Structure 1
Amino acid sequence: MDFVESIKTCLRKYAAFNGRASRPEYWWFALFYFLVSVVAAMFSDVLNALVGVAVLLPSLAVGTRRLHDIGKSGWFQLVWFIPLIGWALMIYWLVQPTGPANEYGTGPELPRNDPLEIPPGL
């Protein structure tokens, strides 16, 4: 999943708290949110606040789907409110690889990692 596809997916699933989200989907959207916030803050605080409110729900939704991907409930996002330790724990969870099928679904489609085949004679 690339940058644009991730943003489209997250905005299309604006308030979808069910299912699973892959690592690239979550982190590309997080980068998008950061960049949009920086640009909005350069113009005005009011615009930055509006961007924050507009992207709050999709951010919570993709965070929930990302936690579902590793087999955790979306309610674990409340750990963000615990300074330092909670932040470290959330980042640790969010960088975990996609888990096997669980109660939240079969998981996002991942690219195949076939080993490189070298032709004979090289």
Structure 2
Amino acid sequence: MEWMLMPYRRYAQFSGRARRKEYWMFALFMFLVYMVCAGLMLAGGGMAALTAGIPEPDGLPVAAPEFNPLFWLGAGLLGIFALASFIPSIAVGVRRLHDRDMSGWWYLGFILGGAIPVIGGLISLGFLVLMCLPGTTGMNRFGDDPKNPVGYDVFG
């Protein structure tokens, strides 16, 4: 749980490096919270919204869905969580690129490139691959190695 919450403790810290473990545990935490909020929204009438507009077998359209308070609780929690996680998610992505010895401006390039209709998927896949690759060993221009901050091996 410590690794999942570390980007919140380093809220807007764009300098330094982040290990793969920090990045992916934070991504897992965000996924789990989004799934809980989506479950609340679906339990609160969101499933009716997904099927709204599909005609009944007799040809009449379905009435507009009514959402109960559980839906609005899930939507509110999702909105608050998304706003609170916006800056930490960018910061941990930039620090992860720093671990690969790449400038944080590449993050903006991947975001903008991912919006290009035809090749955006390939650019997003390239970003995913970069996040999976190990960081540079030892010190780089962005700081000490987060896996070995002392800079030497005991038996090497």
TM, length-normalised to structure 1: 0.80
User: 3-state SS of the aligned residue for 2:38?
Assistant: helix
Partner of 2:122: 85
Distance between the aligned counterparts of 2:76 and 2:105, measured in 1? 29
User: 3-state SS of the aligned residue for 2:8?
Assistant: helix
Is there any run of 5+ residues in structure 2 with no aligned partner, and where? 41-73, 115-119
CA displacement 1:92-118 (0-9 Å, x = unmatched): 1101112132110112025x8x8xxxx
Structure 1's consecutive aligned runs of 4 or more residues displaced over 6 angstroms after TM superposition are none
Q: Shift of the alpha carbon at 1:77?
A: 1.5
Partner of 1:67: 97
Partner of 1:120: none
CA displacement 1:37-71 (0-9 Å, x = unmatched): 11122233232122111111111111111000001
One-letter amino acid of the counterpart of residue 76, structure 2? V
Residue pairs, 1:39-50, within 5 angstroms: 39-43=36-40, 44-50=74-80
Give the RMSD, CA atoms, in angstroms.
1.7
User: 3-state SS of the aligned residue for 1:18?
Assistant: coil
Distance between the aligned counterparts of 1:42 and 1:34, measured in 2? 12
Partner of 1:38: 35
How much identity, in percent, do the aligned residues show? 38
Distance between the aligned counterparts of 2:103 and 2:34, measured in 1? 27
Aligned pair count reads 109
Distance between the aligned counterparts of 2:88 and 2:125, measured in 1? 22
User: 3-state SS of the aligned residue for 1:64?
Assistant: helix
Residue pairs, 1:1-122, within 5 angstroms: 4-43=1-40, 44-78=74-108, 79-81=110-112, 82=114, 83-100=120-137, 101-109=139-147
Higher CA-based Rg: 2
Is there any run of 5+ residues in structure 1 with no aligned partner, and where? 115-122
TM, length-normalised to structure 2: 0.64
- More displaced stretch, 24-33 vs 45-54: 45-54
One-letter amino acid of the counterpart of residue 36, structure 1? V
